[in-house]
A and B are shown apart, each in its own frame.
Chain A
């Protein structure tokens, strides 16, 4: 099976003190796979085991290379694994300039290289760090440091890039500044990225595949759309960020009202004008708290996006006032968070046709052609 050889297959089980871990997942050799879960669920431990920084019983194969197999006694040391690791704190070498930091991994041999080699100038440009090369790590902002750390990891020519909550130490402004660069990585790199995070917003924005952990156990894994549509996995992130990801194409640009019209499986979605080309694919993120439901098409409303669909699933939480509803809109699915009270009054049930009113959409990035840098 060729597709299997081209995947990352990981299995770790064991315990460290009171904490026990038991995970087994596969990740594709392309794109960003998020390892998601609350703090203390074992995400970082999984990543450290993959890098060889920590050791737990298990097996790890990256493409055709076996990095750990307890059955045959294989355990490659971190420096024998072709891996890039971005720590929570940038962990740049304080005694080396930014340039020397970037070059540190480049000169160190003894590791298998990926087919395509990343060039110094390309990486520097991709991450926007050309102006920082002669500076010292102590003189950089948190966001700059993290970008240099990513560049340093990439320039060691890894076959796999591991990122451990690279944004968690940054304030909101720095996060927003750095996210476009991470999206650029996604567009440009051919190597897979495993991205650990407890922030659903970040994950929904960046990831293609998702592994969900809870208390050291793997809850599920799969393509991000599928995982985000699963109602049984709530509550995440205090429910606030729960939502789905949809793909849509740019159908028209309305110059007069400054709106961009998107097409999703024949249904029209409008967003405030975005700098996109006709036919370009975009990723939309719609939180369940931003979706309301109606049994008849509402008239005289300021809500622009009213999509017709059919209820495929309802999960009520008797402990709270709320219910989570999954609505099929002809291809993609939306999640709506409504009160149980409303659900009862409208007589909502599986199979019932409804209109979904979307109050807010965040538009993330094109999913195909590269816009960055």
Chain B
């Protein structure tokens, strides 16, 4: 009854999507978090609110705007035309972009909190010891914010795995390209293939529990090591 060749592609695609998105999220989220933690600009909370929007916006609304942005008429289409494609919508690159925006607050917030938690003092101490800002960032700020990076990466990864609405809006259901786990589950239920739906749902349940649980254990251990 089970056909592994049918179940495996969405799992692999989802893991690829989550891995790509998490890497990009850390790359994009870290400078944003740093700026939000350090800047004294008065309008920085407005930027923080924009970065937090995906928390409250329905995924379909976000997906709708992304669809416009990624489509042939939007900047995504312009970007896609540079390598001979018509649009970023309904493509793997498109859903990666969507995931990054959708999961941004889950990565930015913990990293920002971590950067804020140790204050100016360690960086001032590093500066008086001759460390330039870039040097101090890597040798002091990043190691001190490690718990925030771990939390952010795990949340970003897990959140991308469970993503449904945005992918449905901008990715559709193309096997091997945009048909991720949550979409596959939805489709199995729609087509009354309960066995497959059970398999994927149960697997996702166990996986999610394992991720959250191990993060919590890891954080507890790190807190104890610091104290």
A interacts with B = yes
Chain A residues within CB distance 8 Å of chain B:
51-53, 77-79, 81, 83-85, 87, 89, 91, 93-95, 104-105, 108-111, 138, 152-153, 156
Option from A53, A95, A109, A138 in Cβ contact (under 8 Å) with B130: A109
Closest B residue to A81 by beta carbon equals B128
A110→B144 CA distance, assembly (Å) = 25
Decide if B129 touches A53 in the complex (CB within 8 Å).
Answer: no
Main secondary structure of the interface of A (DSSP, over half): loop
Q: Write the nearest CB–CB distance from B221 to chain A, whole angstroms.
A: 15
Decide if B227 touches A138 in the complex (CB within 8 Å).
Answer: yes
Closest B residue to A51 by beta carbon equals B128
Q: A108-B131, A156-B129 are in contact. Are A53 and B124 (CB under 8 A)?
A: yes
Can you list 25 contacts pairing A with B, beta carbon distance less than 8 Å? A51-B128, A52-B127, A53-B128, A77-B127, A78-B124, A79-B131, A79-B133, A81-B128, A84-B128, A84-B129, A85-B124, A87-B121, A87-B125, A93-B125, A93-B126, A95-B144, A95-B146, A104-B126, A104-B129, A105-B130, A108-B130, A108-B131, A108-B135, A153-B128, A156-B130
Closest B residue to A53 by beta carbon equals B124
A93→B125 CA distance, assembly (Å) = 9
A93→B138 CA distance, assembly (Å) = 13
Chain B residues with Cβ below 8 Å from A94 are 144, 226
A44→B127 CA distance, assembly (Å) = 17
Closest B residue to A109 by beta carbon equals B130
Q: Write the nearest CB–CB distance from A260 to chain B, whole angstroms.
A: 42
Q: Write the nearest CB–CB distance from A112 to chain B, whole angstroms.
A: 11
A95→B225 CA distance, assembly (Å) = 10
Chain B residues with Cβ below 8 Å from A156 are 128-130
* Other A-B pairs beyond A77-B127, A95-B144, 4, CB < 8 Å: A53-B124, A95-B143, A111-B130, A153-B129
A94→B143 CA distance, assembly (Å) = 10
Interface residue? B198 (CB, 8 A): no
Among A53, A111, A152, the most chain B Cβ lie within 10 Å of the Cβ of A53
Interface residue? B12 (CB, 8 A): no
Among A78, A87, A138, the most chain B Cβ lie within 10 Å of the Cβ of A78
Main secondary structure of the interface of B (DSSP, over half): helix
Among A52, A85, A104, A111, the most chain B Cβ lie within 10 Å of the Cβ of A104
Q: Write the nearest CB–CB distance from A110 to chain B, whole angstroms.
A: 7
Decide if B226 touches A152 in the complex (CB within 8 Å).
Answer: no
Interface residue? B7 (CB, 8 A): no
Interface residue? B122 (CB, 8 A): yes
Closest B residue to A162 by beta carbon equals B128
Interface residue? B69 (CB, 8 A): no
Decide if A91 touches B127 in the complex (CB within 8 Å).
Answer: no
Chain B residues with Cβ below 8 Å from A104 are 126, 129, 131, 139
A51→B128 CA distance, assembly (Å) = 7
Decide if A91 touches B130 in the complex (CB within 8 Å).
Answer: no
Q: Write the nearest CB–CB distance from B141 to chain A, whole angstroms.
A: 11
Chain A residues with Cβ below 8 Å from B129 are 79, 84, 104-105, 108, 152-153, 156
Option from B128, B135, B143 in Cβ contact (under 8 Å) with A83: B128
Chain B residues with Cβ below 8 Å from A111 are 130
Chain A residues with Cβ below 8 Å from B128 are 51, 53, 78-79, 81, 83-85, 153, 156
Among B124, B128, B132, B139, the most chain A Cβ lie within 10 Å of the Cβ of B128
Chain B residues with Cβ below 8 Å from A91 are 121-122, 124-125
Chain A residues with Cβ below 8 Å from B121 are 87, 89, 91
